[in-house]
Structure 1
Amino acid sequence: MNEIKNILFFGDSLTAGYGLADAENQSFPALIQQKVNVAGLNYKVLNAGVSGDTSAGGLNRLGYWLNRPVDVFILELGINDIIRGVPPATTLTNLQKIIDQVKAKYPQIKLALMGMELPVFIPGAFAKEFRSIYRKLADSNQMAFVPFFLEGVAGIAHLNLRDGLHPSAEGYKIIADKVWPVISKLI
């Protein structure tokens, strides 16, 4: 029998499944695990999502997660940086450091980046710079890339929790269906 390989989902509340009644079964990583199981693939999903986490917080806790075998690394961080007013250049640097550490520990690892967007009504250079960091990271690191993780869900009331920021269980199903083709190519 083949050994089980690990897919590490490293992110914030959008990975953790914040606000879901049953995050263990309804979160984005849990839904991907279900798709892995249906496909008969020998992979275990690890959910390393922490609500409220920033790129700096992720960088600080990365070592803990890299102390176990990781074959596929899915990075979803950065939106909380914007909420806290962290300059996009700092977010870019922190995310690149995370990627560098992952690649240094596991040179053969397969990587995917979940991009974030800001609403178009947020004007100016700050928003434009933030929108560009994910594409830069994906291109410079040859990562599989989802340009906007919340595409098809953001701003749609019935697909989000009452806070309007976090997807509902139904919203995560849409996200998982959209992102699965990107992840499935890595495994």
Structure 2
Amino acid sequence: MSMDFGYDVVTAEEYERQRLLYGPLADSVRKLIAAGLRTDVDEDTVRNAQASIEAVTEMLERRQRSANVMLHEVTGRPVVWSNPVIGLRNAIAPPMEIHHEDDGRCWSEFALGAAYEGPPGWVHGGICALVLDHILGEAASGGLTQPKFTGTITMRYLRGTPLGPLRAEALIDRTEGAKTYARGSLSDADGATVEAEGVFIVPAWARDAG
């Protein structure tokens, strides 16, 4: 079941053009967010920086794209530029690059910095849930190629998750009708920090279409 319900298709060439253009822009905004969180420059510098940021924002707002979802012509995956976990154009996203194995497992190695901090030095628990919800959904939906959405998700916080390099992984446990059960974990160099189990459901409109 492919998620092709009236979505536009983007060619591989156009996808690559946008990736090379907008990826570095998002990286620059990520650096800006990190710098703004920890800066301790003088008042004049702060005000000058604010004016510059507002000028750049106005420049980028001159033309805005539509929010239509596109499908990649080769992979069949949705091009989710705005996704807060994997979105190439979303500076809030780490971003995570998801790797899919032949046995259905998926994983990602990435880093979370100060923008994701809860207690000092530790990742906010809600960010851990966001990351795991997404990677469990990747596993359950065959890499987002099948319409399956989170029904329930259960988190077990084993210990604090430190800021810095992390690994998330997930796999399908079983499938029962319209429900797919997935499980996964978030880990640092010393092992798992959070474990999760989720139920992902094929929505009624997709079942009817199938």
Q: TM-score range by the shorter chain?
A: under 0.3
Greater relative contact order (CA < 8 Å, ≥ 6 in sequence): 1
Q: TM-score, normalised by structure 1?
A: 0.26
Q: TM-score, normalised by structure 2?
A: 0.24
- Please identify which structure carries the higher strand content: 2
- Please identify which structure carries the higher helix content: 1
